A and B are shown apart, each in its own frame.
Chain A
Amino acid sequence: METIELIGREIELDEDGNLKNISDWNEEIAVELAKQEGIDELTDRHWAVINYMRKEYEEKGTAPSIRRLTKESGVPTKELYQLFPKGPAKKAARIAGLPKPKGCI
């Protein structure tokens, strides 16, 4: 099992490198995960997306797709890509402590 040390704690990761237990997540860990993704500072707009994703996950059991994010989080697609470059849905899910959104086939 892969683990990383964040804010002085050993945290377990899943096969995609996302948190294995969403209960390990807190805001400090989000800041550290964001740094790993190349995002130095989480602004209010980042938090709006992160909090929306966590709420969706709690209600529906899966992290939302980009389309759902745009439609319902109030953050336009263009801005999502500026906030979370290279794959906003994947990146925001990881920072929010959620599993990778399922790419349906």
Chain B
Amino acid sequence: MKKLVILGAGTAGTMMLNKLYNALDKDEWQITIVDQHETHYYQPGFLFIPFGIYEKKDVIKPKSDFFPSGINAITAQIDKIEPDNNRVLLKNNQVVTYDYLIIATGARIAPAETEGLQDKLWHKNIFDFYTIEGATALANFFKYWKGGKLVLNITEMPIKCPVAPLEFVFLADSYFTKRGIRDKVDITFVTPLDGAFTKPRASAILGDFLDKKNIKLITDFDIARVDNDKKEIISWEEDEIPFDVLVTIPTNTGDPAIERSGMGNELNFIPTDKHTLRAEGYDNIFVIGDATDLPSSKAGSVAHFEADILYENFLSVIEGREPQAQFDGHANCFIESGFGNGILIDFNYDTEPLPGKFPLPGVGPFSLLEETKMNHYGKIMFRWMYWNFLVKGLELPIESNMSMAGKRM
């Protein structure tokens, strides 16, 4: 029996599990998936929790619901990968050997990287919304908040779902308007980037949305520490920004097991061939999703498009051929913009988000870089697609490589 081991049963790992389970001969292959948690979180839903749109129950399902029968699922923490011995050591002392390894261990927030962030105000006046604990604590805080200075701060790039911080302030504007206290809430978006977003055209357009919604933008701010007594964030240049409530996107890093394995870069992301998705230096290891160091977004859509490429390349490699399929960095993100509207962006390594139309058979077209109701419905509908198609590894009517159709140069 040949052994395939998948590390991580989040979006990317579960998708690969289902796709390959259907493709590989069950008499020849034993598939094992390892994850430390039993709950699958629909992470794009975390954004809606602080505003009471979703609750915890809306974003969780047991991981085992998505495991086909006949595979070997292990719930345990990974101690380390030994890529030169083709084996993985688990914290429960189990040793798992493999012929092929797919690493999908994701990214997580690391608030301890910033001085004073995870201190006495943590989850009292300082919240993250990238964990279920942070998102639900913030929902409770907002429910009774009377207003003041709301500061959102991105610590450093790269982060999971780089549009989520913008969506957060757009939704906050909408939420506090509906509560009738928008005039008492001062919203400021503080970023280390030189604009609202990384890519020039989207950055300019999204920056205008901030302006229109009366959200202040502070750029080029690199946070050094938080003063919990004065309730201020302070940059390396000693600029101070006071807050009543701080919504932080802490430093994102790869899994600690990657560091223990000596396989990560300075943020524990794994050096990966940006086209074939093979781990640099290892012919029998692939990496997918947030765990890679690719210069693409860390987002579910990216994991989805990567999964199609990785699937093809995996089947080539096990037959002794070179990986042929090339990932182009394609990302497709619905940006929730408040008041029942949404914005859509679609881009890849070489083409920045452009305005125009995004055709989608049977449903579309959606408008790119414009606020529409349709884009909002796209986002809301996506949760259903996620649970019922995406993580089950079923086909969606969207190409893995980006298309220029409908885009305006």
Contact = CB atoms under 8 A, between A and B. Distances in A.
A and B: interacting chains: yes
Interface of A: 65-68, 71-72, 77-78, 80-81, 85-87, 102-105
B158 interface: yes
B184 interface: no
Given A66-B222, A86-B220, A103-B198, A77 B158 contact: no
Contact of A105 (B156, B199, B220, B236): B199
B237 interface: yes
Contacts of B242: none
| Those 3 A-B pairs whose CB atoms lie nearest each other, nearest first | A81-B236, A105-B198, A104-B158
A105 B296 CA distance: 6
Given A78-B236, A87-B220, A103-B198, A67 B193 contact: no
Interface of B: 156-158, 162, 193, 197-199, 220, 222, 224, 236-237, 265-267, 295-297
A105 B236 CA distance: 22
A87 B191 CA distance: 12
Nearest to A69: B266
B295 A102 contact: yes
**Quick one: which of B156, B265, B266, B295 has the most chain A CB within 10 A?**
B266
**Quick one: which of A67, A80, A103 has the most chain B CB within 10 A?**
A103
Contacts of B199: 105
Given A65-B266, A67-B156, A104-B158, A77 B224 contact: yes
A22 B147 CA distance: 52
B43 to A, nearest CB: 17
A85 B237 contact: yes
Given A68-B265, A78-B236, 20 more contacts: A66-B222, A67-B156, A77-B224, A77-B236, A80-B236, A81-B237, A87-B220, A87-B222, A102-B295, A103-B157, A103-B193, A104-B157, A104-B158, A104-B198, A104-B295, A104-B296, A105-B158, A105-B162, A105-B197, A105-B198
